[in-house]
Amino acid sequence: MGKLDGRTAIVTGAAQGIGFAIAKRLAEDGALVLIGDKNEAGAKEAAEKIGLGVTAMKCDISDQVEVSALIEAGARDGAPDILVNNAAIVPFSPWDEIDLDHWQTIIGTNLTGVFLTCRKATDMMRAADRKGKIVNIASNTFFAGTPNMAAYVASKGGVIGFSRALATEVGKYGICVNALSPGLIESEGVKNSPHDESFGFVEMLQAMPGKGQPEQIAGVASFLASDDAGWMTGQTVNVDAGMVRW
């Protein structure tokens, strides 16, 4: 018996990296998982790799029509049980290279996308009297003020603030909303970007040595999606080896 048996879970941006690890862990814990990703081929490949009944469909979370289709497809008796908002664009852009188009693209996916999925999911959860769980993936870059990521840092700060506000509004319906804030994680995306050069510096700031792995984030996401976290909402959980201590 898994702690998420009988529940449906939607994980966005799960074709690779942290999202893939979360989808895999939720499935291993018993959830029927639907992966939503802009990369349709990658999402389907991820679902096949995980197995355990995981399915996948294309979803650009900045597109309201595609978001609605994803949330409806991941419903059980009128609503999903679990929503994990992981999809995001992670840029490496110095301040002098950031223009309005860049800003709006990052905010449109990383923050507005979270609004769209939460809007649809919480409407369905309340209509179905479903005490659902929402886990929004933020980032400890918000606390660190990481350079070369101004729009990203702003979007993730918005995710934290939005999660707090949404938790306050939907708590009376038994819906829990929390943010999970990873540190630098050794995922495919990071390893293929300039961020891969930051591990040495980041490790000096951590309380514990080592490079963070996607599976370490997935375990906390599964906890937040379970009844074990049933008396926990409106919180931001840092998972970064103690880089942020507060």
Question: Which amino acids are annotated catalytic?
Answer: 152
Residues 212/189, Cβ–Cβ less than 8 Å: no
The answer to whether 222 touches 4, Cβ cutoff 8 Å, is: yes
d(CA 10, CA 14): 10
Q: Identify the residue whose tokens are 């999402």.
A: 43
Backbone angles phi, psi at 111, to 5 degrees: -115, -55
**Residue with token string 């050794």:** 186
